[in-house]
Amino acid sequence: HEKFMRKAIEMAEFALASDETPVGCVFVHNGEVIGRGINGTNASLNGTRHAEFVALAEIIAKHPQSILHATDLYVTVEPCIMCASALRQYGIRAVYFGCLNDRFGGCGGVMNIHADEGVDPGYPVYGGLFREEAIMLLRRFYVQENEKAPEPKPKKNRELKT
């Protein structure tokens, strides 16, 4: 798993150098990388351009969707709820990730999309691979300014409606 997690880390480093949130992934089928992706939300101004979605689009353009049933995902950060759901619907074989996503994680960090009751079969997840490297990439991103981030909304005039 080390070889493919290193490739995911390399993709995340490329994302960081491109002023994107440093999330990178590779999809592996029979020991070969068949898709790779980085977070592309800043460049595209599209909140759905997560690394997993970018890579899935590459795979589906070249292969039948059924290839994903025998394909593993290696990603630096736990897939978010949206990505975890898509992976389940596509029938991914397994997911290996670096660090938990404690705000939006869909594979144990917040929700268990990969394993909860559902129509589509679940998939196993294995977290903590290259965890420190994944966290450090995120820290390097979040200490800098993200000019593409939406303006925060002031909270001083908000009221709790009961």
Residues designated as active site: 52
In 3D, which of 75, 91, 61 has the Cα closest to residue 12? 75
Distance between CA atoms of residues 162 and 151, nearest Å? 27
Q: Tell me the three state secondary structure of residue 58.
A: helix
Distance between CA atoms of residues 2 and 111, nearest Å? 26
CA 29 to chain CA centroid, nearest Å: 18
